[in-house]
Structure 1
Amino acid sequence: MIELDGRRLQRCEEGHLYMKEKLHFMEAYGCNLDALYDELTEWSSEEEIRIYNSEYMDERIKTVFLDAVNENKDLIIVLTNGTAMR
């Protein structure tokens, strides 16, 4: 399980650097929404990401997580409100 703080995802620019570190993305990670989607949908082993304080997240980042969870059956996203998505 990986934990993210939604307060660190309020701005895309800083959020991408934070996610790159916490989610262990490769150095070549593009730090944009398309690259985030690609990384999340390419995971091939089950992974749970818990995002606390998700109400503070940039809506564009939140949308990418929600779109990716619909595409990748191995990805589980748990938001602050306790809603698990698979």
Structure 2
Amino acid sequence: MTRIIINGSEMTSRERAHEYLKDMFGFPEYYGKNLDALCDLLNEKTVPVEIRLINSEDIVKLLGPYGNSLLDVFKDVSIENENIIVDIS
């Protein structure tokens, strides 16, 4: 199982958040850098991936409502794709 630790304090803007996520997940160059694209690529995972979100409160603090939507994507994907396990702390 692949384990990825995502640090919410790294997400200082929408653009930075998506660049950071692209790097952490190794997304392809065509990654659309938006919530729909994030959801799509995570749902394509066919091998188990454990995602641990640390400093998740910083995501909301730094990105406001967009941060809440970003966290919702991770929660939704963990329900939709049995290969994705999400731990938000």
Fold agreement, TM-score > 0.5: yes
Over the residues paired in the alignment, what is the CA RMSD in angstroms? 1.0
> Which sections of structure 2, spanning at least 5 residues, go unmatched?
60-66
Bigger fraction of residues in helix: 2
Indicate which of 57, 77, 80 corresponds to 1:71: 80
Matched, 1:20 2:22: yes
Q: Structure 1 runs of 4+ off > 6 angstroms?
A: none
Q: After the TM superposition, which residues 4-83 of structure 1 pair with which residues of structure 2 at under 5 Å, given as runs?
A: 4-57=6-59, 58-80=67-89
> Which has the higher mean CA deviation after the structures are superposed, 47-56 or 2-11?
2-11
Q: Which has the higher contact order (CA 8 A, sep 6+)?
A: 2
> How many residue pairs are counted as aligned between the two chains?
80
TM-fit CA distance, 1:79: 1.2
TM-score, normalised relative to structure 2: 0.84
Q: Percent identity?
A: 38
TM-score, normalised relative to structure 1: 0.87
